[in-house]
Amino acid sequence: MNFLVTGGAGFIGSHLCERLLAEGHTVWTLDDLNPFYDVALKQRNLCDIQALAKPFTFVHGELNDPECLQELFGDVQFDQIIHLAARAGVRPSLQEPALYQRVNVEGTVNLLEAARKHGVKKITIASSSSVYGVNAKVPFTETDPIFSAISPYAASKLACEALGHVYHHVYGMDVAMLRFFTVYGPRQRPDLAIHKFAQLIERGKPIPVFGDGKTARDYTYVTDTLDGIIACTRKEFGFEIFNLGESQTVELDYLISLIEKALGKKAIIDRQPAQPGDVPITFADISKACKVLGYNPQIKIEQGIPKFIEWFRKGYSPKT
């Protein structure tokens, strides 16, 4: 099949392109290579994909560029779209809320419109556990009320979910919304906690720890997330939302101890106040994904952190 992966030069997207190519598909990726983090890392990801010598095409462009989308969809008849491109991150979204609205929401509706006009009926869209906000009930289930977003990033993902439902309801498109829970692994963005902590600990510098270290996240290894995405491409749903997490919570202090152990170095802790927009816990109920998709995450945090550090130690981390 012909797949379009938006954001395919990034962390999850680059792994997904490789997985699709390994399964014999033809893959195009659209990515703007924005400087949210070191563009050289994204270019390295693209080089890794291109080195596979598989049917892969990179398109440098933006979802908010109508001419780019028109040319891309005019040249290729896509069978499916997997939409991962977005401005990411809770804290940065507090600084540039309009940017997050423009890229995440307007970009998504532009993509949906292009798909509709060119007869692409199936699209899988990345959402986020951030949509649950400060949820008093754990674990989080797809049917929980989600009217308490506490960051512009979370609000933008809520809007994308609503748009996905609209395009299913009005135009009959098959739409799966995937709520990712703190994905990590090789190629993880350097601004995310595991990668950032590893860099600072390795260099003997303090790591910023916001709050009391008891905040908990449902860390999900990238290969498990990929399994869930690929499962979505093999079925038709109408419109469905799925949690893709590990369904276990890891407190920040314990996460740091695992990174210390894998690196063989102690962290210097710089305690700071809790940050606006951060939620105290994320915890996925994955029973729906397990039942409908056959989702079955395999990599626990105690296995995943050493895997990440092995990649990190090979020199893939930016030196700053």
Tokens of 249: 């919570």
Tokens of 94: 């507090």
Judged by DSSP in three states, 183 sits in strand
Hey, which bits of the chain come out as E strands? 2-6, 26-31, 56-60, 80-83, 122-128, 174-180, 183-184, 206-210, 216-217, 220-221, 239-244, 250-251, 268-272
- The whole-angstrom separation of Cα 180 and Cα 51 is 28
Judged by DSSP in three states, 60 sits in strand
- The whole-angstrom separation of Cα 211 and Cα 224 is 29
> Which residue of the set 37, 100, 132, 153 is catalytic?
153
CA distance readout (Å), 192 to 29, 96, 115: 23, 18, 32
Q: Where are the alpha helices (DSSP H) in 38-144?
A: 39-50, 66-75, 90-95, 97-100, 107-117
Beta pairing partners, 28: 4, 57
Reply yes or no on whether 153 is catalytic: yes
Q: Which residues are catalytic?
A: 153
